[in-house]
Every structure is written in structure tokens, then in C-alpha cells.
Structure 1
Amino acid sequence: MPSLARQLIVSVSVLALGACATAPAPAPAPPPAAAEIAPPVPIVVEKSAHDRLFELFKASDDASLVRNPLNALSRGDMRFADRLGDNITDEYYAGERGAAEGDLAALHAIPREALNATDQVAYDVFDYSTKDTLRGLQPDMLALTAVRPMNHFFGFHTFYPTFASGKGTAQFKTLADYDNNLKRHHDFVTYIDRAIGRFRQGEASGVVETKMTVRNMIEQLDTQLKQKPEDSPYYGPVKEFPAEISDADRARLTQAYRAAITNELYPVLTRLRDFLRDDYLSHARAGAGLMYMPGGDKLYRYLVQSTTTLPMTPEEIHQLGLNEVARITTGMEQVKQEVGFKGSMPQFFDYMRTSPKFQPKSREALTQGFYAIGKAVEAKVPQYFSTVPKTKLVIQPYPSFREKFEAGGSYDQGTPDGSRPGTFYFNAYDLPSRSTWGMTTLFLHEGEPGHHFQISLAQENEALPSFMRFGGNTAYQEGWALYAETLGYDMGFYKDPFQRFGTLNDEMLRAMRLVVDTGIHSKGWTREQSIAYMLGHSGMGKTDATAEVERYIAIPSQALAYKVGALTIQRLRKHAEAELGDKFDIRDFHAQVLMTGALPLAILEQKIDAWIAAKKAS
């Protein structure tokens, strides 16, 4: 269809021709003097609400990428690949706050009622996410967050080694890529020194990390610094040069990379380690929960609502968790009876945790097991999904320098054009603590059709504005991944009672998170009390339970999103099945959930309700 402006110009021309055809022909007149010829009046076409909305989205995204170059690089956009950006200073936060305020003003100037249904979804998501971002950028919130710039679970000191290793997000295909990485090292040094300054501000205000998270950071830094420069992940790119890089450049870069590690990266990591060990640790708080930190109660209530995208309180979530733990325990009792185990439930958990029958024989066996599960899942996918990602998925263990402090698995997204695949990482640390009965549900969550489908389908959908392709919220993203685990029932993978125990055990993990996260941060639970609760209600190994609890201490509220999001999607599916009957198609339902990016849960519910109404009317 021609553009609106083009249609209007054509319409005006047709009307003028029509007028000439019906009026009497006038007598010829002499041509006017040049000075008397009036200039043509330009036709001004007011932009549609849709065009204004998407121009705002694009302008906002373009400006954000300039301020946050790492986001650009993660998409394969190399315009700012020579920098990491400044996301820790007061000036940065002021810029982000000003941008959010300007975006909201521009959005609210667009009449929502003039938009179609799809555009209204985009309008609502942008409005919600920008307001949520703006709340976190207020001075009272920054006073509680900016002065704690990293911990053992979330920090540049663990992100950057993988990022710069040649095995992470940053690409190393050209000579410019290698030189850009050296330039980014300078930004990394600046960031770490500024992070030390932020920690010092927190010491002065009493807003500090826990002693446990600080000790873990010190151990992480010690592990990195013990490596010889040539064994460091930072040295990885020069071990695998592309063929087009000349011998002279290889020699230059090898020397430059070794010098950067020796003279820049290791010294700044040493400064951070020494500061944390010799200064900050003595100021860190003993209590694990935010309730032991000045302003922590207010911060936690904000984080709960931001993470779940719902107006829930810690008290409501704690009770929901207790109810879910009781329900899932009943399912585990049924598995115990089905396999003929005669002991108590704690004894059954111990059997599942410790029996050699369920322990991987080797890292390679674990890897091959996940490969086999991936093939089995891919054979079932067409029955449940009408659209699958173009981006490929690779399966591999965590690098050894990361694995001790990682969860059982995670997902790193690929690029929108598919040039870099998505990666499902699994944890092969302490193999006796890994259980084969948990492999299927882990793959469904982190790989296909969990995070890999949700993230890839969104970012591959060029019809969406960028903030919906690449943004999102934890409740939707993790809620979808947990919902994806339950598709193992539909796909027939849980007919085996031990694999069914695995998915119940993982579901129990997410239910226990509601209890433990709120217990730690709003009820004063200790680290040891929380670990004991998780071991007493599931088949988790102590290594995993410890890592989970330390994660909740490090990143409060994030773990709440899984169960809240999954319960919402499950409820919406049951509602759609009941309302549509024979008209319900699981592939259509999944497309409605997935193909507009990660929606806040209330907006997702509105979308599904509208889809149900349209299907019923058809």
C-alpha cells in the first residue's frame, strides 16, 4: 500500500483534474509575469499516531544504545564496539533519568485511542517499563543500589572475563575487533576503580553488601589472579586468530594482550581484591537479608513489585510459596510410592541425591546426555509451536573459572541475525552433586523451548520495536521458561517417574524460592536456616542448595519471578482452553504468548483475553 502522504497527494491531484473536466473552458489569457506567480503551497500531512509511536521507540532505542554500548554489541551492532560505556557515575544515572522522563512525556502526547490493538500493547509495555525504570533511578533508590555495584553473583568482575575471552558476546573476526577489545580494557579498568569508590560511599552511609557475598567475591578474584596471563580468559582471543590477520599483527596483538593483562587488568583486579579483603569486609553486614540494611525494607518491597510486575507484597508471596510447596510435596509422595521406595520422604530425597545410579559418569557423559535430550525435544516441537527460532542452540559446560559459583544451568542469547548461536550452559562442577534425573527439565527451561525460544523469537521479530525485541522483565522471561518445563508432561518426557521427580524437584525449587527469598529479606532467615529448608523439602544436593541461597542473598527478589510468572501463564492457558473448547490450538496460544516479546504479566493477560474474544467471535 502506498504511504499515507502519497495517497493524499494523489487524491488532491485527482480532485483538481476533476474540477477542470466539468467547468466551462475559459478564454486564453496572457501568461502572468514571473513575479506574479505564487509559490506552490506545500501539503502538510500530519503523522499518524502509529508513526509517531514508532518514531519515539526508535529515537529512544538509538539514544539508549549510545549511552549503553554493551547493549548494542550484544545485538551484533558494532558502531560502539570500542567502548564499554559509563553506567556507574552520577552523570550516567542523571542521563538515564532524563531520558526516561522525556520518553514518557513524548509517549503521553500520542493518543493511545488512535492506535490499533497491537500498537496499544506496545504503548502499554513502553509506558510500564519506562515508569518502572524511572522509579529505580530516583535518588532514594540509587542510594541503596548504586553503592553496591557488584557481588559474587552479579558483577563486571565475573562478566567481563567471559565477554572478552573470544568465547563470549564480543566478536573477534577482524583486526578492528581485536583492537577494540584492547580499548574496552581501558574502560573496564576505569569501571572497577569507580566501583571501589561506590563501595566507599556505601561504607559511609551504612548501605553495604553482606560479609558472605564479599568473601565470595574475594575468592573469585583470587581464582582469576592465580592464573598465569597466558592461561587467563583475557588471553583467549590471541590463541585463535582468524586467518586474515597478518603475522605482523598477530605478533603485535599477542604482545599487547599480554601487556594489558599484566599492566592493566590484573593490577585493577588486585586493587579491587585488596580493598574488599583489607577494608570493605570489616564494614560489610552480618545479616543476610535486606531487612538488616538501612532502607532495605523499602528497597525489597520495590524489588518485589518490579520483579513480578504485579502489586504483590512479600507476605503474599511467602504464603503462596508455602501453599505451592505443600502441593508439590504431594506429587513427590506419589513418585516415591510409584517407584516402591519404602522409607520416609527425607530418606527418599537423600537416596535421589546420593545414589550413584543418578550421578553422571563424566563431563563427557553429561554433555552427550544433554545432546540426546535436545534431539528428543526438537522432534516434538512442531506439535506445540508454529514458529521456531532461526538462531541455533549450542550446548556446553561452564568454563572452569566460573563453574563453582554458577547455578545448574543458564542461557546466553545469540544475535538477532543468527550469526552467533544461543548457548545453553550446564554445570559440571562437583559431578557427584549433579543428578541425571534433573537433566530434561533443565534443558526445557534454559534451552528449548524455554529461554532460547522466548529470547530468540522476540529479537528475530523485526516487526517489533527494539525495546520489545531486546528488553523484557524477569516474571515473563523466567515464567515462560518454568512453564516450558511443564510442557515435558505434554511431550511425554515425564512418564518415567524419575524424570517426573526431576521436574517436580525443579518446580519445588521455584516454590521454595518464594518462601526462602522472602524469608531471608523480610523475615530474618539466616543462610544456614534457608539451606536447611531447601534440603528438607527437595532432592537438591547441598552444593546446589548453597549456591541457590547465596544467589537469593546476592540478588533479592529475582528468584520470585519464576513461579509467579509460570502460574500466570498456566492460568491463562487453562482459561483459554475452557473458553475456546475445540477452537483452542496450543500452537496458536504459544504464538500469542511469545511473538510480542516479554510482556508485563497484566498486559499479557489483557492480550490473551482479547485473543480469546476474537477467536470466539470468528
Structure 2
Amino acid sequence: MYRTLWFLAFIFVFNSCKETPKQDEGKLTRPISEVFAEFYDFKKGINPIEATKAGYHDYNDTIANYISDDYILHLKDRYTYFLEEIGKYDSTQISAADYMSMRVMEWDCTIKLEGVMNPMVTVASPIYDLPSFELMPLFQIQSLHLYVAQLAGGTSVQPFKSIEDYNNWLSRLEDYITFIDTAIEKMKVGMESGVVLPKVLTLKMLPQVRSFIDVPLEENLFFQPVLNFPDGISDVDMDILKSNYEDFIQEKLSPKYKELNAFLTDEYLPACRDTDGLLDLPNGNETYQYLIKLHTTTNMNADEIHELGLSEVARISKEMEAIKNEIGFTGNLKLFFNSLRNNKELMPFSKPEEVIEHFNNINDRIALSIDSLFNLTPKAGFNVRRTEAFREASASAEYVPGSKDGSRAGIFYVPIPDAKSYNMLHDEALFLHEAIPGHHFQLSLQQENTSLPEFLHPESMGVFVEGWALYAESLGKELGIYTDPYQYFGMLSMEMHRAIRLVVDTGIHAKGWSREKAIAYSLENEAESEESIIAEIERYMATPGQALSYKIGQLKIRQLRTKAEKALGDNFNIRDFHSQILNSGSLPLILLEEKIDNWIVQQEM
């Protein structure tokens, strides 16, 4: 999973790309590069934490209040403006590379403009009669309150290298408090209109909020930066900053967390629903289709995706049976899953450092064969790091890209709450997905690609990014790993996990499945622990449609590879194919397919 500020996603929707009308000769007033630059300035401004992540520091002191009415109106105005601007250009006036970038920009603006035509948070007079996700702004996973806490410790993307950096963070936290105030207001509107979280999700969120209440100052995560000053800050300035941080935490932040906790416990939780899916909200079917289009960039409907998921589960189950038999296990797959969950041979570690070293060893093995599949590789480095303790218990492994200037390497985070029970079954596939040649390759190459306009460097279209990473898992044998049948079974297990998502996500949100039915289906068909499966199902409940992107994207890339292999025969070059997939940044699937089809034709000439 690639860590990004995905929470704006609920106000973004799909619309098909279209040709821009050709402008009359001589009416272009500025080069398209200026429009791209202006667009990127706008994008940094509306998502300043993403700008920080990308290495731009002018926004380090702000957080966008993305659920406020003013913010949404601003998006509507600016996306309309940029669509008008790019409507002045066509393919005869700019280069082919710029035209592709412009079409991605058009796609981005169109779906996001349609997204901000969602309810203007005032339920009494919505523009579209769809549930407003601004009314459910906090949840138990991938939520702003969790990401801010991750930044707070001083070991993530928020810089703490100078006095200015330390003051920027306090200013950013002021905006965060404003966001919490707005979130409470919106949740109260949601309570009045019945647009509220499932009760089980709110129950999972409460301990997260309470972890910042009545914590000794020295142990408070938000105080850690002033316990670990860099060189170059004087003792006097250290004392001032410590005092400022102490005052802010005790007088503003801790009281705000107490207020939020009291609201969630005493008011919001009793109003939460006992149902699990979007089907149980007003116009839930329409909302879910909206999110399917957003997250898959296709016109597939829930029934089609559900059937595709069932088909993929059946196919992968057959492969699993073959590996189970090769290993010599005589019971059925479900019994084999249970044996894997408790197999002590797959739990060889006693210290977290040993798990990290294990992943570094996988990296060394892959490095021996990587050139056989890739002629385009990133310059950026990356590190494997243990997930921070405050979120480790409920976190998944994830990749955080490095900064564009290379000053901060990419980070592959691995949760290791208990090294002795850490199961290594999936580790080779996990490394391929999160690191090389998965997220680290794709996202780093995107940032380093000087032929792309800057707005595309951090772009993270999930169906492309996650589809590529899941496709990368399938390359293990070609890269000299998966020699152990357990590790190959681990890869199949991870693919099965994504196939199951197609079934349970659509089941929960379009077919009336309960949380318990989805958990039971997953336990029946994969080797994950029950605890892990519960966390996953609750993730799908909180983020409808997002989990569909992995398998839909992977299947498209695999389909395009097969198409190219059949069309080109002996002239097919896997290294060139991978370069074509990776050298244009994140693309909607319709543009990716068009690009590869054109490449095949060029190779055939």
C-alpha cells in the first residue's frame, strides 16, 4: 500500500477523457508549460502536506481544511478555470508528451470538478442527492488525525531541521485544530441526517484519540521533536521551543483531543449505525457506483466486479491447491491456511532488527536479476524501517516516497508489533509490491522524470499505482525469488487477498453483506489471521471502492503485456514494455491502454 493523503478522494469522481477542441490558429497566448506550472501551484496549495512530502517547503506551516465549505467552493472555481485553459490547446499545437500530460490533467480536473458538485455539506439543499463524505471526516484508518500523529514524531516527512521548521509545525497544528472543530461540526450535521459511521468503526477510532489524552509530556508524541533537536540550534532557542511546544500541547492540543473524545463517546457513538455498507445510507447504490468509477477509472458496475472477483478467487484457489500438494500437505486448503498461520518455521525471528535485515537480504537477491526486466530504474534510494509504535498495532506495510530532491529516501514501513510471532510467509511478495520493483520504482521514476510536468511527479492515481505494485508481485520467479514454495504460496495468498477484495467490497456496499459475512468469506479463502482480516474488512467499510483498484489495475497491466507478447512475438522486449508502463507517470487505465496499443503498432512497423 502506498501511503498518501487519500482522504480527498471521496469528493473526486470519474468522467471519461475526451479530445479537447482545436483552437483557431494564432490564439494561444502562452505555452502549455505555464498552465502546467500554474496547475501544480494550485495543487500544492490545496494539499500542503502532499507538497511537504514532495519536498516543497513553502507549505510546511499549513493544513488544508478540506471539509470546509470555502475549500470546496474554491475547488469548484479553480477546476472550472483550468478546464477552460486547457481547452485552448490540441494535439497539433503541443508535443506528444505534453499532450498526454494535458489529457491526464484534463482527466484530473474533470473528475474532481464533478466531485465538488457533490453536496455542499448543507444537507438541506444538496446539489446531488448523495451521502456527503464530508459528514464522516474521521475514521479508524488513513484518516487525517492518524497522519498528523505520524508527522508529529519528527521521523516522517515533516522537517525538523531549523527553528523555522519547529515553528512551522506549530502553525500547521493550529490549522489541524481548526480542522477538528470543522470535523465535529460536520459530524453533528451527519447525525441529524443519518449519514454516520458504522458503530464498529467509531469504536476502533476511540482508542486512537484517547492515546493523546493524559499522556505525560515527555511521552507525548507531539513533544518528541523538542527532545531530539538537530545540531545548530542554540540552548536558548531550544528552551524557547520546548516552552512553546509544552504550552501548545497542554493549552490547546490536549484539550482539543479531550473535546473530540467526549463528543465521539457521548454524542456520536450513540448515533452511529449498526449497519456496515453504503447500501444502508441514502442513495447508497449511486454513491458506490460513483466511487467505483473514481477508484478503477472504468465504467464497470458492482455486479461485474463481484463476478470478476469470484472468478479470480476460483482461479487462484486452483494454483494454491497445486502448491499445497507440492509441499505435501494432505488436508484441504482451509486446514492448510490454519497450519500456515501457526507454522513456527515461518516465525524465525526474535528481534525486530532481524525482520528488517530479512527484507534487506531479499533486496540483495533481487538486485542480481533486476536488469533482466528493467532498463529504466530510479536513482533514489530507500530504507526499510519499522512502523512507529503508536500505529503499529493496526497498520499495514506501506511505502512512503522520498523527496523529489533526493534529500529524503523512500521508506518501506513494516509493522512488527511482536517479532516472535511475525510470520514471513508473504515477505518476498510484500517486498516486490512495496519496494522493488513496485512502489519504489514506479513512484521514484515518476518523480525523477524530467519530461513530465511537475504536477505529475507526485500524482498517485491508485488504480495505476497499486495495479503496478500488484503486477510487480508476479515478477518474482523472473527475478530469481519464489524458489521456496512457501514464498510462492505467499505471493498467491497476497493475490488472493486482492481478489477477495473485489468480492467483499462489492458484497458489503452493493449486495447487503454484513461485516461478519465478509469476514467469514475471507477466512474461508485466505491464510491471513482473523485479526488481520477483521482490520481489512473494517478498512473496506471505511473506504468504499478504494480496495478495488489493486486487482483492476493489475489485470489491465497483465492484459496489456499479454496483448503485446502475442502481437510482437519474438520482437517483444519485456524491458521496453516495462519502460512504456513506467515512463509517463500515473495514468488512467483508458490512457494507459491507448498508449500501449500505439506502442505495439510502432513496434510492428
TM-score normalised by structure 1 residue count: 0.90
> What does 1:265-280 align with in structure 2 at a 5 Å threshold?
265-280=253-268
Distance 1:292 1:226 in 2: 37
- Which amino acid in the other structure matches residue 174 of structure 2? H
2:211 aligned residue? 223
Correspondence 1:171 to 2:159:
yes
Shift of 1:53: 2.4
2:15 aligned residue? none
1:65 aligned residue? 44
1:590 aligned residue? 578
| Structure 2, unaligned runs of 5 or more | 1-24, 122-130
Distance 2:458 2:86 in 1: 19
Within the candidate set 377, 391, 394, 1:402 is matched to: 391
Shift of 1:226: 5.0
2:472 aligned residue? 484
Distance 1:92 1:422 in 2: 31
Distance 2:220 2:372 in 1: 45
Query: Larger C-alpha radius of gyration, 1 or 2?
Result: 1
Q: Is the 8 A contact 1:527 1:549 kept in 2?
A: yes
> What does 1:154-233 align with in structure 2 at a 5 Å threshold?
154-225=142-213, 227-233=215-221
- Which amino acid in the other structure matches residue 132 of structure 1? I
Within the candidate set 52, 56, 61, 1:82 is matched to: 61
Shift of 1:514: 0.2
Correspondence 1:544 to 2:523:
no
In structure 2, the CA distance between the partners of 1:571 and 1:124, relative to structure 1 (3 Å rule), is same
2:526 aligned counterpart, secondary structure = coil
1:376 aligned residue? 365
2:119 aligned counterpart, secondary structure = helix
Distance 1:224 1:370 in 2: 32
Shift of 1:66: 2.8
1:244 aligned residue? 232
Shift of 1:543: 1.7
1:385 aligned residue? 374
Distance 2:423 2:106 in 1: 43
Bigger relative contact order (CA 8 A; separation at least 6) = 2
Distance 2:48 2:282 in 1: 33
CA shift digits 1:115-148 (9 cap, x unpaired): 3332232122111121111121113386511111
Q: Is the 8 A contact 1:230 1:258 kept in 2?
A: no
1:306 aligned residue? 294
In structure 2, the CA distance between the partners of 1:547 and 1:433, relative to structure 1 (3 Å rule), is farther
Q: Is the 8 A contact 1:112 1:123 kept in 2?
A: no
2:492 aligned counterpart, secondary structure = helix
Shift of 1:360: 4.2
Shift of 1:56: 1.4
Within the candidate set 265, 271, 283, 1:295 is matched to: 283
- Which amino acid in the other structure matches residue 78 of structure 1? H
Distance 1:56 1:116 in 2: 14
CA shift digits 1:92-128 (9 cap, x unpaired): 0000111111111111121234333322321221111
Distance 1:590 1:350 in 2: 37
Q: Is the 8 A contact 2:373 2:574 kept in 1?
A: yes
> What does 1:457-536 align with in structure 2 at a 5 Å threshold?
457-536=445-524
2:385 aligned counterpart, secondary structure = strand
Correspondence 1:53 to 2:53:
no
Q: Is the 8 A contact 1:433 1:541 kept in 2?
A: no
Shift of 1:243: 1.0
Shift of 1:68: 3.0
Within the candidate set 439, 447, 453, 2:427 is matched to: 439
1:558 aligned residue? 546
Q: Is the 8 A contact 1:141 1:299 kept in 2?
A: no
2:597 aligned residue? 609
Distance 1:348 1:83 in 2: 50
Q: Is the 8 A contact 1:224 1:401 kept in 2?
A: no
> How many pairs were matched up?
571
Shift of 1:342: 1.1
CA shift digits 1:168-189 (9 cap, x unpaired): 1111111110111111121111
1:97 aligned residue? 76
1:331 aligned residue? 319
Equivalent pairs: percent with the same residue? 38
Q: Is the 8 A contact 2:366 2:480 kept in 1?
A: no
1:249 aligned counterpart, secondary structure = helix
Q: Is the 8 A contact 1:370 1:439 kept in 2?
A: yes
Correspondence 1:412 to 2:391:
no
Q: Is the 8 A contact 1:395 1:423 kept in 2?
A: yes
- Which amino acid in the other structure matches residue 232 of structure 1? N
1:140 aligned counterpart, secondary structure = coil
CA shift digits 1:451-474 (9 cap, x unpaired): 111111101213211232111311
CA shift digits 1:537-591 (9 cap, x unpaired): 1111112111111110111111100000000001111111111222222111111
Q: Is the 8 A contact 1:406 1:547 kept in 2?
A: no
2:14 aligned residue? none
- Normalized per residue, which structure has more helix? 1
Shift of 1:167: 0.7
Correspondence 1:281 to 2:263:
no
- The range that moved more, 108-117 or 591-600, is 108-117
CA shift digits 1:423-451 (9 cap, x unpaired): 10112125566421211101111111111
- The range that moved more, 277-286 or 64-73, is 64-73
1:146 aligned counterpart, secondary structure = helix
Q: Is the 8 A contact 2:365 2:481 kept in 1?
A: no
